[in-house]
Amino acid sequence: MDNISHLNVTREKEIVLSKGISQQSIDVIKASASCITSNDVQISSRMYEILFEKYPKMQMLFANSPKNQHMKLANAISSYAVNIEKIHVLFPALEVIAISHVREDVKPAHYPLIGRAFIEAIEDVLGDDASMELLDAWREVYKYIADILIEMEEKLYLKQKEREK
């Protein structure tokens, strides 16, 4: 995996699961899961449009992304929605994402930009169905997932730095 080793997923789960997502957000995400999953491709495609329109330099991070990157994001969005109460089952996939992010030099400062584009995309695609409650719940979930990835990536960057010594 390009000199980037796997993380100790069990240990990572213990660290981030203690942070949690509010029950209110879990309930909102669960209630909206079918709406989100049926629009996941449109949301992910729109997210990239917004991201690249507002932050053109972000395109560099995706220069080596596969052509189906928007489909990967769509699948991730649906997975988060469906597994909101058991997010720990997503840790192996999050580990793969973290490894990819380190390979592409994603930094913590990139996450808020992507998060804003993601929430705006939900709002654009769902229209009137994108209540403030739904958007707030997805903001919380996005921040939670972003924090998990940032933590994983920090550990990978440290391991990478240690190898370079």
**Active-site positions?**
111, 153
What's 6's DSSP letter? P
Q: How far apart are CA 141 and CA 135, in angstroms?
A: 10
User: Is residue 122 within 8 Å of residue 135, measured between CB atoms?
Assistant: yes
Q: How far apart are CA 101 and CA 95, in angstroms?
A: 10
Q: How far is CA 70 from CA 12, 40, 74, 142, in A?
A: 26, 9, 6, 17
For residue 126, which of 37, 50, 54 has the smallest C-alpha distance? 37
Give the 3-state DSSP-derived string for 37-77, with helices as H, strands as E and coil as C: HHCHHHHHHHHHHHHHHHCHHHHHHHCCCCCCHHHHHHHHH
User: Is residue 70 within 8 Å of residue 52, measured between CB atoms?
Assistant: no
